[in-house]
Amino acid sequence: MKNNRWMNFLPYLIMMLLLGSIFSYTRVSTTETLKYGEFYDLISKKEITEVSLTYNSTVIDVKGVYKDNDLDRRFIAEIPNTEDISNDLLEKLNKTVKDGNITIVNPYATNYLVEVLVQVVPMALLFGFGIFMITRMNGSSNNKAFEFSKSRARLESNIKVKFDDVAGCDEEKEEMAEIIDYLKNPDKFAVMGARIPKGILMVGNPGTGKTLLAKAVAGEADVPFFSISGADFVEMFVGVGASRVRDMFKKAKSTAPCMIFIDEIDAVGRQRGAGLGGGNDEREQTLNQLLVEMDGIEENKGIVIIAATNRPDVLDPALLRPGRFDRQITVSLPDRRGRKAILEVHARNKKLAKEIDLDALAQRTPGFSGADLENVLNEAAILAVRAHRNEITMADLDEAIDRTMAGPAKKSRKYTDKEKRLVATHEAGHAVVGMFLEGADIVQKVTIIPRGVAGGYNLMTPKEDSMFLQTKSELIAQITGLLGGRVAEELVFNEISTGASNDLEKVTKIAKAMVNSFGMSDKLGPVQYASDSDNVFLGRDYTSNKATSDTVAYEIDQEVRSIVNKCYENAKKIIKDHRDVLDNIARELIANETLTKEDLDNIKQYGKKDPDTAVVAEKEIKY
């Protein structure tokens, strides 16, 4: 430790020596060089305190010091070496130099050691300083050049994340509870003859908390946590990934009980021999080594491997067989109760206003993952700081939800009057269908403020959280609601625009799924016509096999068109029956740009946003 500390001061020491050496050379430049006449004037006029004479074959080198206003000044001069001048010079110097301080220097007497040191030492110092700096640079940037095949797994101890920090996945935590007990007391399971799974595969959408849950298991069990990404194994050199796998398991065995977490395992665990160009030798060798190492772990040795992916369909079947990743846990998107619990966890360090209801916020965020909800609260906190508020308000949370779903508002983008009426009418059409169609989602918010590529949008939430199933009537209601904007444009303006392109894309996708996948066609019956391709790396549609005849394909197109047309006519009927509500919503949107569910309820009942204070023109809007 002391040696390292001394090495830290070495560059400064070398720099000081270099500066001193340079100063010693440059100091000569401060000496005054005198001409022949000037030198004789100096002898006659100044007090010379010391002088040295060096007799060469042709000249005499004179060096000395004289007094100038009580200051010592150095001088040098060259005098012709003749007998007369030499004798005259010595005579004058004897009279002028104080105390006869005259030195005669032998020009042939040389100190070779001093000359060598003067020339070599500065060069040696410069060379040493350069070598030192290069060594430091290499050590700080790439001192692991000889550890290329070593494992990149990061070892973490004393994990602070606990199950209390993970919310919205109670069932998943129950599945992991026995793993924690096993890591703490592996002998208890061995006595009973129970074999704990070596590998656990966590599957779920991005942001659902797979990595956080794995860390919480290590934190609860208080064991070392090896964390690595699947991409860290694969390199351009064949064999490196396999070597890193061997090194990682070697370290894990030496620190057992412990846990190995492999994130994005699909990067290294994809099906072997798949793809147009064949397999990837490096990735397949790495996968083979991973399988071998998992088989080499003896039962109940205190090593648990947890992997995470959102693409289980591309994994090699050998990974999923019993004895390897034989337990699969699906980490789903949280339901309403789970979203509230997640919000409570992330709101611990946030200053929320008293009127904020996290349960209502959870109801307004269906389909949000844990990462999305954390981002909502973080965006709300940033907005509160930007507005110089001391706490997060509901307005901040509303804006944060909008930002998460559609991006920040583009307030600088200005509509023309025609565009504004068109967008307001379009969004009002969606809202009217949602308000009056039985089974439709609840309209929570309508806005014509542009966000992202959208000119406006409706925030609609289901009446109940449905995690798995949707009925035919609910799908029909979704299609009808999506067509409400297009219908409103046609009825009000007798013209249609490109604003419904995204709506039509969703409508077509839902209708095709009803006929092809869900067997919801009255004419074609409960038959599934869609067939998935096994070649997951070649593009699903590119390699999809034709499972229907031309006649059936034509009938499928007819059924899809029939479902969409029926929903279109139903949306047209609803909007015609409630044309006054459509006009009132469009008028309020033009005036206020954003309407909440309470505003829509007031418009539905009273014809205006705020029946108590708002002054609304009685005449209808002229489009």
Catalytic residue numbers? 427
The token duo for 453 is 């590529």
Residue 161, SS3 per DSSP: coil
Strand order in the sheet with 594-596: 457-461, 442-447, 594-596
With a CB cutoff of 8 Å and minimum separation 6, the contacts of 600 are: 431, 435, 443, 446, 585
E strand intervals along 171-292 = 199-204, 225-229, 258-263
Burial of 190 (0-12, 13-18, 19+ CB in 10 A): middle
Short-list 395, 331, 342, 402, CA closest to 373: 342
With a CB cutoff of 8 Å and minimum separation 6, the contacts of 108 are: none
Long-range own/partner contacts, residues 143-151 (CB < 8 A, 24 or more apart): 148/237, 148/240, 149/239, 149/240, 149/243, 149/244, 149/247, 150/243, 150/244, 150/247, 151/228, 151/244, 151/245, 151/247, 151/248, 151/251
Pairing of strands 225-229, 102-105: unpaired
The token duo for 240 is 């490196």
Q: Answer whether 437's CB lies under 8 Å from 480's CB.
A: yes
Q: Answer whether 77's CB lies under 8 Å from 62's CB.
A: yes
Q: How far apart, in Å, are the Cα atoms of 303 and each of 187, 218, 221, 232, 256?
A: 13, 11, 12, 20, 6
